[in-house]
Structure 1
Amino acid sequence: MSRLVLIDGSSYLYRAFHALPPLTSPDGSPTGALFGIVNMLRATLKEHPDYTAFVVDAPGPTFRDAMYPQYKAQRPPMPDDLRAQVEPMMKIVEALGFPILRVGGVEADDVIGTLALQAHAEGIPVTISTGDKDFAQLVRPGITLTNTMTGSVYDEAKVVEKFGVRPDQIVDYLSLMGDTVDNVPGVDKCGPKTAAKWLAEYGTLDAVIAHADQVGGKIGENLRAALPRLPLSRDLVTIKTDVPLELVPRQLVLRGRDIEALRELFTRYGFHAALRELDGGTSTTAAPAGKAKAYFPTAPSAATELPDAALSAPGEYETILTTEQLAAWVQITRGAALLSFDTETDSLDPMQAKLVGISLCVEPGRAAYLPLGHDFPGAPAQLPMAAALDALRPVLEDPATPKVGQHGKYDLHILRRHGIDVRGYAEDTMLESFVWNAGIQRHDMDSLATKYLGYSTIKYEEVAGKGAKQIKFSQVALDDATRYAAEDADITLRLHRVLSAKLAGTPSLQKVYREIEMPLVPVLERMEATGVLIDADELRRQSKDLSQRMLAAQQRATELAGRTFNLDSPKQIGALLFDELQLPALVKTPTGAPSTNEEALEAIADQHELPRLILDYRGLAKLRSTYTDKLPEMVNPGTGRVHTSYHQAGAATGRLSSNDPNLQNIPIRTEDGRRIRKAFVAPPGRKIVACDYSQIELRIMAHLSEDPNLLKAFSGGQDVHRATAAEVFGAKLEDVSSDQRRAAKAINFGLMYGMSAFGLARQLGIGRGEAQDYIALYFSRYPGVRDFMERVRQQAREDGYVETVFGRRLYLAEIHSKNQGQRAGAERAAINAPMQGTAADIIKRAMVAIDEWIVPHGDRALMLMQVHDELVFEVNADFVDTLLVEVKARMESAAQLRVPLIVDAGVGENWDEAH
């Protein structure tokens, strides 16, 4: 199981300094604390954590200083010998590959506490590496403390043994004692035994306060004297667990070690054991043999996967500034077995970015950068862009010269807009990684280089700066630009060599990559470049209507509350609903506070008018801000259209996602959501055509389960929900009521998504027992579905993954989790993923086939959008009938299932009419 180790760097630095003798390096620099830190980090690495972070205090005051100006005020300044070791410590931590976290306004404890509870909520076991007793308040099942300097490990039982109180009493325990180190006031003369005794007797600090008059003697007087300050003490010692962070636990992965930097640092400070370990080739980041196979034998390793040294060595890069150099590189690329290329631009928007340069590579370790648009003061003369592109065009447009890129769809856009139609785009390392293991979170080049090459790439911020001071790439000096850009092409080629070998070893995945994902790249590029026409006036009318209804909702909410409050403030909503109106808080946040999210408000919407009103208001606000206000602003000034971006490596099931705008999330179940589609229009003389697979996932369920009754319903062209209702309720088809069909539809779709009896009961508004009876009846009539579900669960347990009809895999890391909730979630995913993934594969195959037919027809018909199981086209009015026949034929033949694939189609002036 995955594990997160959070290292309390600030605590260890001080403790190592005071615990170890005053060691010095060969040049006399103090190294005692540094030595302790290095050994602690080496010990941590040998345990092979899946996720980890080194957390230190940020400079400057924190919220506790504002709360209590005397907080830590008595602490002496950091000793000079210790201060001298801080910078070397950070360099070593960085070179070892640990993520380093430093957040202003809070302490390291609060960052650790936040991450620990976030990970705990996801079922990730957490180890907090620290010597600080305050962290005992976080201990619970799944969160333990360890002190690598003493070897001690604290779970719940050990906390009780050590302190005499439970972990949930630690805050009260510390509040009573106070903390002389941090200058937190407590009860005078109250030590550990007294604090533990009071809490054993009364249970909580609040109860101790309530019974203070019953405590006798001098200590009782001290307690009563301390009563006014005890709430403050409790606030000061409570670790904050809701710090806003830029990273989530699963992003805290080790980077590849900087071997040369470590060798230099270990040598300088005389750390001979660490140096021997480094030079002896012992890997401190790779997993031990078999570790990654503990629960899913055939799953790709979650640890760093290092290839041979040749693919991890630094490269030699050249800047192309002369016609002769460019001619030489054109000659090198002609007839290359594989050409890796990458573009550098001044924007992330592929439809508006200007080309700044191109990098080329045909063998690992040797690459070149051709600058074309660097315009900083004093920039060297560069080859004219038009002439340089003309020189490269024969190679880039030659289908016989295969090309590889990393997320190359962007580069295809850039070069197309600059007059080059790239042909022969044959490989993409992002897609190779995605097909090989869709379960990992990141498929960007930097992450893949660390994972598969053990190589730390130059980051964009290193050459262009960051934040408000970040410059455009056109302003980057050519030496820095060459190192950065040429490395991109070089590393892409190296990654391809590693990833292609992995795919070659699994023919089913190789087939998904070759026959589905790679052919789709140019299809998506064409769709994105085409864009869709938007009726901005229609959207403005909708925005006005939504605003008026939002205002009406605010006025009604004010009437119901009896006062004004901000409908956009979760804090004010929570106070109103749960404190004033005393509605039950049925859903909690990870920190235990009442939640006001959609699920929470839905749960109490039947108890008061306000929760439903707030949900309606939020729905209107989201439609306005996300679509009716924003879409007109997204019209490209050069094309007059809106251009979305499709992502192939987004959803693990293979589903396409899109952004700017996100077309997949336009609501279709509400009238307001459907109205937005009216603004997606066809120009004069053309029509919008929408073609949608009918109940495709249910058809895939019929195919996979081979259930006779389900196959019969689809093969006979019946209304499958009515047929299911007839089976479940024992009625004739013609006698099925609308309520029975609605219940059957909820069961049909709900079971594919792992819906429980509780979920079905809530959706249908019936009792849980009745819902359970419905499910039992369903399985009695469709036993093949029940058997299929059990087969899939068993396959997932044995293999660690499930597959689509076409061989795409979804790995299920939590299928053997000891946490019942996580395990149940993995089992639900195991059942649903083959349906969702197969549906994704089918529509992708259809898109490739349709694109092959449609392109020769030029502008007579254009494929505009893919949204879930639907394809949308813009077509000449006189070509609509032809398109309907050809598109439906290709969509319905995209897979050969045991039941027919059916496509519904519509035609209109806008998307709503066509849907």
Structure 2
Amino acid sequence: MIPQYPLILVDASGYLFRAYHALPKLTNSRGEPTGALVGVLNMLRKLIEDHRPEYIGVVFDAGGRGFRHDRYPDYKANRPAMPEDLRAQIEPLRTIIRAMGLPLLVVPGVEADDVIGTLATQAAATGLPTLISTGDKDLAQLVGEHVTLINTMTGTRLDPDGVREKFGVPPERIVDYLALMGDSVDNVPGVPKCGPKTAAKWIAEYGDLDGVMAQAGTIKGKIGESLRAVLDQLPLARDLTTIKRDVALDLGPTDLRPTPPDVETLRNWYERLESRRLLATLDGVGVAGAPTAARSHEAEHSTESEAGTEPQYELILTEAALEDWLSRLQTADLFAFDTETTALDAMQAELVGVSFALEPGRAAYVPLAHVYPGAPDQLDRDRVLARLKPLLEDPGRPKVGQNLKYDMSVLARYDIALRGIAHDTLLESYVLDSTARHDLDSLAKRFLDHDTIRFEDVAGKGAKQIGFDQVPLEQAGPYAAEDAEVTLRLHRVFQPRLAAVPALERLYREIEMPLVPVLSRLERAGVLIDSARLATQSAELARKILELEESAYRVAGRRFNLGSPKQIGAIFFDELGLPVVAKTPKGAPSTSEDVLERLAAEGHELPRIILDHRGLSKLRSTYTDKLPRMVDRDTGRVHTSYHQAVTATGRLSSSDPNLQNIPIRTEEGRRIRRAFIAASGHRLLAADYSQIELRIMAHLSGDERLLAAFAGGQDIHRATAAEILGLAPEDVTGEQRRSAKAINFGLIYGMSAFGLARQLGIERGAAQEYVDRYFERYPGVRDFMDRTRRQVREDGYVETLFGRRLHLPEIGHGNQARRAAAERTAINAPMQGTAADIIKRAMIAVDAWIEAEQPAARLILQVHDELVLEVAESAVEETRARVCAAMETAAELAVPLVVDIGEGANWDDAH
């Protein structure tokens, strides 16, 4: 079974104190105290046996002073010294817990509660159900949709309803409740004589602590007097009782995977403790008598993990075996499917075999084209595909796979239109956490604690690597069958996690999954290029690159390698005496691109020459030289690959070739776009969202002036310049509009006044004035940014309009620069991510129209906020209208979505 709580966090210091006071004061024959130690170990064992978590963190207080002492020197001043017989049991306990293979955390400067609070908050942000084992009422403030408390000694649990029932207030008001009552044990000041019932009553009547304080004058009697006498102390009490949720930790929730126990160390310690019960747990079991603690809970699904049996992987070489599997696949509620091929490029890949899995622990591989010497007879590929075609094309037979877009494109080459794509583990993982790795091997290790058979294991590495069609069946069969079987197991892990966060489940179901066939069709459509035009441009670029090299030699006074950072550094800083504006981690002067940009902006000639040289060299190597070589021999077109699960924000990326990075603002970049052409009798239609991220900012911030500017169809940059300079729009100069544009886009990317000053070439003080005036005129934007910073510090993630989450683990990092970078990302991510969601919704809508009505048009490119279609000349006007309507209705914002559409014989002319 899957455990109800994959993550357990243990308040070990609380365990220790409770065990010490609740259990007999036992000693071993040496007179060493053992009662609390053995009590904690037995509680831990029972907790693990009952819940079998995938992740577990055992958290101790570090001891000594912390930040609360700095805030209030008398914090915990009333606590008596720890008894020596208890202190003597702490280090042995920690040693034993480490030997058990359980992750142990002791973080100086904060309490165990703060570490638990941080980990629980991070886990909840990903929808990971978490159980906190504690008897401390303070931790009730952490309870929520994904966080539950358990008191191990009593067995009672507290979910949000349980917190309300026990304390009379919801989890989010526990801090206020604790502040009103105070805590004599921790010496936290509160309202004298205010007990649990009074605190809960006041919160019910006045909402929260601030409400109680605001109404203090209306509360009668002695208790009212007591409240009014300590009003100035209550904010401090609230601070002291608030659990910190942004502690900078080296480990995250999913890093807390148990490891195999050190049995010899455990045996020595258990013998020293003279505990027969603990010694008995070491007889052929896993972690300290709890064998499942170090096993992944998802592995409970597979027969491989039950009773020690191996998975059953079948190699299908006969018609009878194929028919047997087909009959079971046709009645399955869901089956996993995978292809094995000769190439990563779906446009060139030949099908070598297919694999299926019906249930964990059971899968099969059907080899179809293994051609190595001595290969056994295999079923005829065409006959097998003819038998599979009805099943694979049946939308009523749900399938799950890992990156099914690839399989769909491969099958299309064999005239099979894969339908019934119900789930894709690549996308399930991506939606749950876009910043993680989503390849099958990594997912299997992370979520199933399973080391997969890797491609290199069966095909070799490097120059000696062979194609999969050359891999012997005795190796190919288990490898291929495992891919399908592991995929099915992973889906069973991901499905409940997605269901636990409805917004993520909806994003997955309504955007990411429907996009799979859209991208497959788009990739297979491809785009025509004018190879002759690119060859001419490539030759011209080569001449310009040589000219730049000669210019660089002239300025430097000698020849050098323009691609060598070491040689560039020597010339810049030793010979020309240029200022050092940044250093590498090792302390050497940096020659990074950012440094070159700064030096060039300051008027230094050589850095500008090197930047221009790099830019032209990259265009030549990546596009003008390479694109003609990438024309598909069968279609005569270039076919890029789009990736849904790469960027953190949800944007699509592309590779082979990467079409996202062709510069549009330079003449050389535009010339490359002119080489993307329409077929004879067709036109290219380019539809681009206008200023979509600024429009999303207006929607998210609700700023009245920004909303009004977009609603009125104003030039937003001119309107911004007019607002912050106090001018009429018609009086704004081109330079002033340029500055306002830099502010508009700079701020949504988290640019500072320093960065703005550098970009505009003005003094930092003047840039700061621009920023200050901007926020004076657009206070809603400032409020949105402040809210976002607070939210990301509290939740650890930000969300798009459609519920996509971007996790920012560095928001709690101890390094201020890294925290600041995470804050800047947090401000931009909701806009960039929402824009990505909107263009995906638009693609799905446009593709649905094309599939339903079969116009003489097809999607051929998606780049950032733009869709490009190849359209028959006779269908241009109809397509323009339908695409515009689909894109402008892809989301409902507080401002209109505006789409700029053009058409031409090539991509550049269509703009």
TM-score (normalizing by structure 1)? 0.68
The offset of 1:681, in angstroms, is 0.4
3-state secondary structure, aligned to 1:665? coil
8 A contact 1:449–1:495 mirrored in 2? yes
Say which of 308, 314, 332 aligns to 2:300. Answer: 308
Instruction: For 2:289, give the aligned amino acid.
Output: G
The offset of 1:476, in angstroms, is 1.2
The 1-side partners of 2:102 and 2:843 are apart by 42
Q: How does 1:165-314 map to 2 (within 5 A)?
A: 277-278=286-287, 280-281=289-290, 306=298, 308=300, 310=302, 313=305, 314=310
The 2-side partners of 1:583 and 1:285 are apart by 57
Alignment correspondent of 1:766: 762
Say which of 326, 329, 336 aligns to 2:325. Answer: 329
Alignment correspondent of 1:888: 884
1:562 paired to 2:557: yes
The 1-side partners of 2:283 and 2:768 are apart by 61
Alignment correspondent of 2:711: 715
Alignment correspondent of 1:476: 471
The offset of 1:256, in angstroms, is 8.3
8 A contact 1:465–1:471 mirrored in 2? yes
Instruction: Describe the superposition over 1:631-674 as per-residue Cα deviations: whole angstroms up to 9, x where unpaired.
Output: 11111111111111111111111010010011111111211111
Change (3 A) 1:285 1:659: farther
Q: CA RMSD in A?
A: 2.8
Alignment correspondent of 1:63: none
8 A contact 1:697–1:836 mirrored in 2? yes
The offset of 1:258, in angstroms, is 9.9
Change (3 A) 1:275 1:586: farther
The offset of 1:874, in angstroms, is 0.4
Change (3 A) 1:275 1:575: farther
Instruction: Describe the superposition over 1:411-434 as per-residue Cα deviations: whole angstroms up to 9, x where unpaired.
Output: 111111122111111100010011
1:371 paired to 2:363: no
Instruction: For 2:302, give the aligned amino acid.
Output: A
Say which of 428, 433, 437 aligns to 1:437. Answer: 433
Say which of 339, 343, 346 aligns to 1:350. Answer: 346
Instruction: For 1:361, give the aligned amino acid.
Output: A
1:528 paired to 2:520: no
Instruction: Describe the superposition over 1:443-494 as per-residue Cα deviations: whole angstroms up to 9, x where unpaired.
Output: 0111111111122211111111222222211111112111110011111111
Say which of 435, 439, 447 aligns to 1:452. Answer: 447
3-state secondary structure, aligned to 1:766? coil
Change (3 A) 1:877 1:667: same
3-state secondary structure, aligned to 2:776? helix
3-state secondary structure, aligned to 2:452? coil
Instruction: For 1:384, give the aligned amino acid.
Output: D
Say which of 777, 796, 800 aligns to 1:800. Answer: 796
The 1-side partners of 2:260 and 2:556 are apart by 63
The offset of 1:857, in angstroms, is 4.6
For these two proteins, the number of residue pairs brought into alignment is 653
Q: How does 1:74-153 map to 2 (within 5 A)?
A: none
The 2-side partners of 1:470 and 1:544 are apart by 36
Change (3 A) 1:914 1:406: same
3-state secondary structure, aligned to 1:361? strand
The offset of 1:683, in angstroms, is 1.2
Change (3 A) 1:558 1:340: same
Instruction: Describe the superposition over 1:270-311 as per-residue Cα deviations: whole angstroms up to 9, x where unpaired.
Output: x9979655472367768xxxxxxxxxxxxxxxxx77553537
Instruction: Describe the superposition over 1:171-207 as per-residue Cα deviations: whole angstroms up to 9, x where unpaired.
Output: xxxxxxxxxxxxxxxxxxxxxxxxxxxxxxxxxxxxx
Per mean C-alpha deviation after superposition, the further-off stretch among 456-465 and 753-762 is 456-465
The offset of 1:787, in angstroms, is 0.8
The offset of 1:729, in angstroms, is 0.2
3-state secondary structure, aligned to 1:593? coil
1:863 paired to 2:859: yes
The 1-side partners of 2:619 and 2:57 are apart by 48
The 2-side partners of 1:493 and 1:365 are apart by 10
The offset of 1:573, in angstroms, is 1.5
1:490 paired to 2:482: no
8 A contact 1:340–1:489 mirrored in 2? yes
Instruction: Describe the superposition over 1:328-366 as per-residue Cα deviations: whole angstroms up to 9, x where unpaired.
Output: 111111031012100001111111011110001121111
1:467 paired to 2:462: yes
Change (3 A) 1:329 1:704: same
The 2-side partners of 1:675 and 1:48 are apart by 60
Change (3 A) 1:259 1:390: farther
3-state secondary structure, aligned to 1:830? helix
Instruction: For 2:467, give the aligned amino acid.
Output: K
Change (3 A) 1:415 1:594: same
8 A contact 2:301–2:489 mirrored in 1? no
Query: Sequence identity, in percent?
Result: 59
The offset of 1:719, in angstroms, is 0.3
8 A contact 2:749–2:828 mirrored in 1? yes
3-state secondary structure, aligned to 2:523? helix
The 2-side partners of 1:581 and 1:281 are apart by 67
The 2-side partners of 1:604 and 1:48 are apart by 51
Say which of 500, 505, 516 aligns to 2:500. Answer: 505
The 1-side partners of 2:311 and 2:651 are apart by 36
8 A contact 1:405–1:427 mirrored in 2? yes
Per mean C-alpha deviation after superposition, the further-off stretch among 309-318 and 724-733 is 309-318
The offset of 1:263, in angstroms, is 10
- Structure 2 gaps of 5+ residues are 1-54, 60-100, 104-249, 272-278
Change (3 A) 1:828 1:285: farther
Change (3 A) 1:607 1:899: closer
8 A contact 1:360–1:486 mirrored in 2? yes
3-state secondary structure, aligned to 1:912? coil
8 A contact 1:761–1:767 mirrored in 2? yes
- Structure 1 gaps of 5+ residues are 1-44, 50-95, 99-248, 287-303
Alignment correspondent of 1:194: none
The 2-side partners of 1:792 and 1:450 are apart by 34
8 A contact 1:861–1:874 mirrored in 2? yes
8 A contact 1:341–1:405 mirrored in 2? yes
Alignment correspondent of 1:396: 392
Say which of 597, 609, 614 aligns to 2:592. Answer: 597
Per mean C-alpha deviation after superposition, the further-off stretch among 542-551 and 852-861 is 852-861
The 2-side partners of 1:256 and 1:479 are apart by 33
Change (3 A) 1:767 1:495: same
Instruction: Describe the superposition over 1:651-704 as per-residue Cα deviations: whole angstroms up to 9, x where unpaired.
Output: 111010010011111111211111110010001110011000000000000011
The offset of 1:722, in angstroms, is 0.5
3-state secondary structure, aligned to 1:863? strand
Per mean C-alpha deviation after superposition, the further-off stretch among 357-366 and 898-907 is 357-366
3-state secondary structure, aligned to 2:683? strand
The offset of 1:718, in angstroms, is 0.4
3-state secondary structure, aligned to 2:642? strand
Say which of 799, 802, 813 aligns to 1:817. Answer: 813
The offset of 1:608, in angstroms, is 2.6
8 A contact 2:259–2:294 mirrored in 1? no
Alignment correspondent of 1:76: none
1:621 paired to 2:617: yes
The 1-side partners of 2:340 and 2:827 are apart by 43
Instruction: For 1:531, give the aligned amino acid.
Output: G
The 2-side partners of 1:676 and 1:263 are apart by 65
The offset of 1:858, in angstroms, is 4.0
3-state secondary structure, aligned to 1:308? helix
Alignment correspondent of 2:537: 542
